[in-house]
């Protein structure tokens, strides 16, 4: 099951690509992508890896994307 997270601010394309690349490299991450408008991050990970993937994602977005915050929005079936 995928999870959708709202992104607190608009992110430049270059920074967004760098963040996706770093998060997707985490062990247990199955997929990570933005919604079309880049207002949401959609993450799929192994059940036992969600905590690790999202801890890293929060830190990556703060570091690479001008302190952007991620907030859980919903589950996607």
pLDDT tens-place string over residues 17-45: 999 999 999 999 999 999 999 999 999 99
pLDDT band at 71 (very low <50, low <70, confident <90, very high): very high
Could you report the per-residue pLDDT of 47-65, keeping only the tens digit for each? 999 999 999 999 999 999 9
The tally of domains found in the chain comes to 1
Q: Which CATH number covers residue 31?
A: 3.30.70.100
Q: What is the per-residue pLDDT for 67?
A: 96
Please give the structure tokens belonging to residue 4. Answer: 């959708």
21: left (phi over 0), alpha (psi -120 to 50) or beta: alpha
| Angstrom distance (rounded) from CA 9 to CA 75 | 21
Structural domain boundaries, residue 26: 2-76
Q: Which position has the token pair 């801890």?
A: 55
């Amino acid at each position: 099951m995928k999870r959708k997270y709202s992104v607190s601010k608009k992110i430049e394309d270059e920074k967004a690509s760098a963040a996706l690349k770093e998060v997707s490299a985490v062990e247990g991450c199955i997929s990570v992508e933005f919604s079309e408008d880049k207002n949401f991050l959609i993450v799929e990970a192994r059940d036992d890896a969600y905590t690790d993937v999202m801890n890293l994602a929060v830190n990556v977005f703060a570091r690479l994307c001008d302190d952007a915050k991620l907030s859980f929005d919903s589950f996607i079936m």
